[in-house]
């Protein structure tokens, strides 16, 4: 199985290669002003240099890792963390979709309660105090004290 460093290297290398390939049409051409270019530096130079840098350094790191046979273990629990990541990312995505319709308080109440239950919290008192109390208190402080707009249900 791929270790986290390898997975990270594969992802960033793919991202850099895709960016490099897309650069010719993903960057607006510089428009001349009074017949001459505003800057000698092309808008594509920095993205191209950065993408190339990622590719070159990743390849060197890859070679170094395979030569040295580096084995890295995380002190955390990978399976639990993977499941946790899926839950948190799902919660973020669902919150983004429901924020404007369900409102701030309800969205965050549900999201934080889902996380607390996933983490093993079964006490109704704790759930109410933490998951309902925190967003309600913050909503009250921000909207009443600081008069900041936060989405309400509906």
Per CB under 8 A, which of residues 38..67 are in contact with another protein? 38-41, 43-44, 46-47, 49-51, 53-54, 57-58, 60-61, 64
Minimal distance in Å, beta carbon 103 to another protein?
11
Is residue 128 a contact point for another protein (CB under 8 A)? no
The CA distance from 21 to 15, in Å, is 10
The continuous run of DSSP H or E covering 14 comes out as: helix 4-26
Minimal distance in Å, beta carbon 70 to another protein?
10
Q: Which long-range contacts (CB under 8 A, 24 or more apart) does 65-73 make?
A: 65/5, 65/6, 70/5, 71/3, 72/3, 72/4, 72/5
Is residue 91 a contact point for another protein (CB under 8 A)? yes
Write the DSSP symbol of residue 43.
T
Q: Specify the residue, 85 or 152, whose C-beta has the smaller distance to another protein.
A: 85
Minimal distance in Å, beta carbon 28 to another protein?
3
The CA distance from 28 to 42, in Å, is 10
Is residue 143 a contact point for another protein (CB under 8 A)? no
Is residue 125 a contact point for another protein (CB under 8 A)? no
Is residue 18 a contact point for another protein (CB under 8 A)? no
Query: Which listed residue (92, 128, 140, 153) binds another protein by CB under 8 A?
Result: 92
Angle between helices 45-68 and 4-26 (to 10 degrees): 160
Is residue 106 a contact point for another protein (CB under 8 A)? no
């Amino acid at each position: 199985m791929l270790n986290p460093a390898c997975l990270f290297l594969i992802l960033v290398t793919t991202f850099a290669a895709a960016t490099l390939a897309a650069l010719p049409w993903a960057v607006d051409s510089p428009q001349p002003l009074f017949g001459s270019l505003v800057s000698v530096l092309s808008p594509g130079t920095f993205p191209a240099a950065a993408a190339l840098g990622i590719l070159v350094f990743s390849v060197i790191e890859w070679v170094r890792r395979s030569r040295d046979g580096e084995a890295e273990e995380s002190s955390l629990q990978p399976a639990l963390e993977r499941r946790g990541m899926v839950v948190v990312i799902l919660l973020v995505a669902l919150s983004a979709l429901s924020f404007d319709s369900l409102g701030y308080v309800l969205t965050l109440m549900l999201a934080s309660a889902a996380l607390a239950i996933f983490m093993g919290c079964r006490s109704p008192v704790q759930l109410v105090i933490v998951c309902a109390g925190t967003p309600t208190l913050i909503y009250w402080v921000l909207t009443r004290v600081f008069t900041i707009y936060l989405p309400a249900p509906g």
